[in-house]
Structure 1
Amino acid sequence: MATERFEVQREIPAAAAKIFALLCDPNGHVAIDSSGMLQSADGDHVRQVGDEFVVHMDRESLNDYPIGKYDVTVIITRFEQDALIEWTVSGVIEPPIRHLYGYRLEAGATGTLVTSYYDWSQIGEQYRDTGILPVIPEAALRATLGILARTVK
């Protein structure tokens, strides 16, 4: 596994606070998902490290592993208001895989430079050679940024 992290950027013509508010909303994650796996979410807006919410998933959207519908708990691992949000998931697979997703927001020339990343460098050894990672391709991160731009417009 040579690459263990994808990172893509896009400048979005919206204030960081508006983008960050969407990223703190469990339903915001569903609204901007390009993979089709996120079906719905339950829980309150996140406000700090350790906050959690549940996402109802459908793996059939990727057509790669026949696990169908399942739930994951999103656990916030880093949180800096209007600047950084990162999370891991816990759910069907035990022990948890320990892959991370996140967004960094920085002032841009015409709005906010949004960096989306997916990092699986900290996964457990039992998952290294399984072929299940990365779960989503880099193109999905880029597509999600496009949906994010359209959503906060």
Structure 2
Amino acid sequence: MTRSVHIMNQENVNATLTVAVPAARVFAVLADPASHAAIDGTGWVQEAVNQAPLTEVGQIFRMDMHHADHPDGDYRVVNKVQVLDPPRAIGWLTGYDKGDGQLEFGGWIWRYDLTPLGPSKTEVTLTYDWSAVPDSVRAYLRFPPFGPDHLINSLRHLAELVPGR
């Protein structure tokens, strides 16, 4: 397993890890919302509310979350699939339900890019990009909202999870 962590600029951060698993198997785990709590490097993701596999751009899936600094502690996010290119890329915007059926997204995206390095090896790059976050959100949220180890921890969890799937 090789790894690297990069801060590309002020607007996004990424990490890369090579895993000894075919890209299609890695993609299948990432496209399964039920696996996201096990992958998460912060411990904030608790459980997938919607457990259907991610199969199309625009698909909505919700996650129950917990963060000690959140006003409610427990909360729910709404994710919208933004990128879906099996088995090479998957990504989603994160937001919330405004309570009236309207969804609002904050402008940040989670994206995984998978590069096959042969039949049973894949380079996985996880990118967190907040370049589209408006100033009104930046006024009360710090970006990125997690420490530098979060992305590589998530990739390590993914690497541990995938072989068993």
- Does the TM-score normalized on the shorter chain lie above 0.5? yes
Tell me the number of residue pairs that the alignment of Structure 1 and Structure 2 aligns.
149
Alignment match, 2:6: none
Identity of aligned residues (%): 28
Consecutive unaligned residues of structure 2, counting only runs of 5 or more, are 1-8
Alignment match, 1:67: 72
Native 8 Å contact 1:99 1:119 kept in 2: yes
Q: How does 1:82-101 map to 2 (within 5 A)?
A: 82-91=87-96, 95-101=104-110
Selected match of 1:57 from 43, 46, 65? 65
Residue 131 of structure 1 and its aligned partner are, at CA, apart by 4.6
Native 8 Å contact 2:41 2:150 kept in 1: yes
Which amino acid in structure 1 is aligned with residue 56 of structure 2?
A: Q
Consecutive unaligned residues of structure 1, counting only runs of 5 or more, are none
Which amino acid in structure 1 is aligned with residue 109 of structure 2?
A: L
Deviations 1:49-92 (A, max 9, x none): 001111000012xxx44431010111101110100001011216
| 1:104 matched to 2:109 | no
Which amino acid in structure 2 is aligned with residue 126 of structure 1?
A: S
Scaled by the length of structure 2, what TM-score is found?
A: 0.83
Give the structure with the higher percent strand. 2
Query: Quick one: distance in 2 between partners of 1:34 and 1:131?
Result: 19
Alignment match, 2:154: 144
The alignment's C-alpha RMSD in Å is: 1.8
Alignment match, 1:28: 35
Q: How does 1:105-124 map to 2 (within 5 A)?
A: 105-108=114-117, 111-124=121-134
Scaled by the length of structure 1, what TM-score is found?
A: 0.89
Residue 17 of structure 1 and its aligned partner are, at CA, apart by 0.6
Query: Quick one: distance in 1 between partners of 2:75 and 2:45?
Result: 10
Query: Quick one: distance in 1 between partners of 2:113 and 2:47?
Result: 24
